[in-house]
Structure formats: structure tokens, C-alpha cells
Amino acid sequence: MNDELYLILHKVRGEPAFDIAQKIMIGEKEGWIIPTSGHRAYPLSALPVSDPRVINVNGDDWKSLPDHYEPKRDDHSHLIDAAREILMRKGLISAAKPANTYRRI
């Protein structure tokens, strides 16, 4: 590949992000890398830096695009509830939820 730089639109933690990237060969396939970080990118759109234009996001293409960094999932309450139910069935804990032990001052 060459050293030409591109303005790319890709997904980072679930959000659209613009970066500068370079085309490279990864084995037998063409790929993209962000030279400042060394991370691989999966652009939805790419324009040579020498010819910048507007890049539009298409909904279906955007949803199927791999993410540069996956967004964090904060809601684990369903896992806590499932674990509590298993422990109750095994008789290891009582059905009552533990009281809130936090103290307000």
C-alpha cells in the first residue's frame, strides 16, 4: 500500500468518530490502521486527506460496522438477580434481599 492518509468515519465506543488512517495489507487482505495509535480501524467511509468532503452515515451500514472500542455495559442487575435466584434455590441465602447497609451522614 502507499503512505497516503485518509479521513475516515468509524465507530468508537458506539459513537461516530473521525480519524486519520492509512490503508495497509493485513495478510492477503486490505485493512486500515490509525498510524498515531497503531489500532486497526473499520471505516464506514474514507476520503483522501488531500480531497476532504462530507461523509454521511447510513443506518444499516453503521449498525453492522465493527467498533474501535466497544461501549461499556453498566447494567448488570439482571445477572445479580439471576445469581440471587440460583443461591436461593440451593438454600444458600434467604428470599429476603439484604438490607441497605449504607449510612447517610
State the pLDDT at residue 80.
76
Residue 52 lies in a domain: yes
Residue 51 lies in a domain: yes
Domain that holds residue 81: 1-95
Residue 57 lies in a domain: yes
Residue 14 lies in a domain: yes
Q: How far are the Cα atoms of 52, 82, 89 from residue 16, in angstroms, in the given order?
A: 17, 34, 45
Residue 103 lies in a domain: no
State the pLDDT at residue 91.
80
Residue 25 lies in a domain: yes
Residue 104 lies in a domain: no
Residue 105 lies in a domain: no
CB-based contact 16:50 (threshold 8 Å): no
Domain count, the chain: 1
pLDDT by 10s per residue, the chain, length 105: 568 899 999 999 888 999 999 999 989 999 999 998 889 999 999 988 877 565 666 677 777 888 876 666 556 677 777 888 888 888 877 766 555 555 555
How far is 15 from 47, CA to CA, in rounded Å?
Answer: 19
State the pLDDT at residue 33.
94
- Whether the full predicted model's pTM is greater than 0.85, yes or no, is no
